[in-house]
């Protein structure tokens, strides 16, 4: 297998931006829509798409850098296609949308029956949902076989499509995701699905999946988070620092005597809400305070707590 960096023509320490630019340039050049019937271009497109798919992902990239190969998906696109109708084992590394498209039913010849619409999950971070983002979405779709142009299956000896008249190709679209998206939201992109002979071209259905965030849980347009403070901080009051999704530092005043479980609402610090007027409305941050009971007291602390206990006992009348 060729080196992914070589395929994209970038140095090993290239930034994400450089990799993205290199990929876009090559993908445009070799895109199947622009090179109908050109097998070399098609191979090249699959190659650069495979390389980019790994190098754009920090986890995949570092694992590739370490091992010189990407183990998450051992099959190159070429192998996968060659195996497609029979070798379902080889799909182990692929996402289920690919699977779903092909696996559901088979026709008489044992080839996967064609389904018009393609479902594809798109994973977005909370930051991406907050600002909106344009992203490349990679997927596979069926097109009219450029070699045989889909002549009747009975007469068809086409080796490019195994006589199916249609062919699975790797492709991508650049899609703009607006603010205000939520988990399971479906975005229908008409005419970007599978080609089915005698029918029409189906749709691409993007299903939004919101990635887990290390600090915030999403609830509508609100962001839920929690902070733990110490006993003395709870008793005396304090100021805690919090960062919103836009990396802005917020100083939150904690009043003396705060109880564990108290929820503080930071208005307008949550997720951007879509509206027609341009002005950006936002949800809130809900900050849940947890008070930590001290453990492993050192001698000095223990003495102070004993002293505190004594004071409490004298202070609180045990009458009534």
| Least distance CB 4 / Zn ion (angstroms) | 30
Which is nearer to Zn ion, 201 or 252 (by Cβ)? 201
| Least distance CB 109 / Zn ion (angstroms) | 14
- Do 126 and 210 touch, CB atoms closer than 8 A? yes
Q: Which helix (H) or strand (E) holds 82?
A: helix 77-83
Burial 287-297 (b: 16+ CB within 10 A, else e): bebebeeeeee
Contact map string, positions 22 to 51, toward Zn ion, x by CB under 5 A: ------------------------------
Site membership for Zn ion, residue 160 (CB under 5 A): yes
| Least distance CB 169 / Zn ion (angstroms) | 12
Site membership for Zn ion, residue 289 (CB under 5 A): no
Which is nearer to Zn ion, 127 or 147 (by Cβ)? 147
Pick from 114, 143, 158, 271 the residue near Zn ion by CB under 5 A.
158
Of residues 171-200, which lie at the interface with Zn ion (CB under 5 A)? none
Contact map string, positions 111 to 150, toward Zn ion, x by CB under 5 A: ----------------------------------x-xx--
Q: How many residues bind Zn ion (CB under 5 A)?
A: 6
| Least distance CB 148 / Zn ion (angstroms) | 3
Which is nearer to Zn ion, 37 or 261 (by Cβ)? 37
| Least distance CB 142 / Zn ion (angstroms) | 12
CA distance 49 to 81: 14
* Cα angle: 135, vertex 132, 119; to 5 degrees: 50
> Under the rule (CB under 5 A), what is the footprint of Zn ion?
145, 147-148, 158, 160-161
């Amino acid at each position: 297998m060729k080196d992914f960096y070589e395929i994209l023509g970038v140095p090993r320490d290239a930034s994400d931006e450089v990799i993205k630019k290199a990929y876009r340039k090559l993908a445009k050049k070799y895109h199947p829509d622009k090179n109908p019937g050109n097998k070399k271009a098609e191979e090249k497109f699959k190659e650069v798409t495979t390389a980019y798919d790994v190098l754009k992902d920090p986890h995949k990239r570092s694992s590739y850098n370490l091992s010189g190969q990407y183990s998450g998906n051992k099959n190159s696109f070429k192998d996968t296609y060659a195996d497609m109708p029979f070798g379902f084992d080889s799909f182990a590394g692929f996402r289920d949308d690919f699977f779903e498209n092909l696996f559901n039913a088979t026709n008489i010849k044992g080839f996967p029956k064609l389904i018009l619409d393609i479902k594809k999950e798109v994973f977005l971070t909370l930051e991406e949902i907050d600002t909106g983002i344009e992203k490349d979405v990679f997927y596979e779709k069926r097109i009219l076989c450029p070699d045989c142009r889909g002549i009747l299956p009975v007469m068809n000896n086409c080796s490019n499509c195994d006589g199916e008249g249609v062919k699975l190709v790797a492709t991508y679209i650049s899609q703009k995701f607006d603010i205000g998206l939520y988990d399971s939201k479906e975005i229908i992109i008409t005419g970007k699905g599978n080609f089915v002979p005698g029918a029409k071209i189906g749709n691409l259905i993007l299903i939004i999946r919101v990635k887990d965030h290390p600090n915030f849980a999403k609830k509508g347009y609100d962001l839920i988070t929690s902070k733990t403070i110490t006993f003395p901080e709870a008793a005396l009051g304090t100021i805690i620092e919090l960062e919103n999704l836009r990396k802005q530092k917020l100083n939150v005043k904690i009043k003396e005597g705060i109880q564990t479980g108290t929820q503080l609402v930071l208005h307008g610090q949550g997720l951007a809400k879509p509206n027609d007027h341009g002005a950006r409305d936002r949800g809130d941050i809900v900050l849940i305070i947890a008070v930590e009971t001290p453990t492993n007291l050192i001698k000095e602390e223990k003495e102070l707590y004993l002293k505190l206990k004594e004071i409490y006992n004298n202070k609180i009348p045990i009458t009534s």
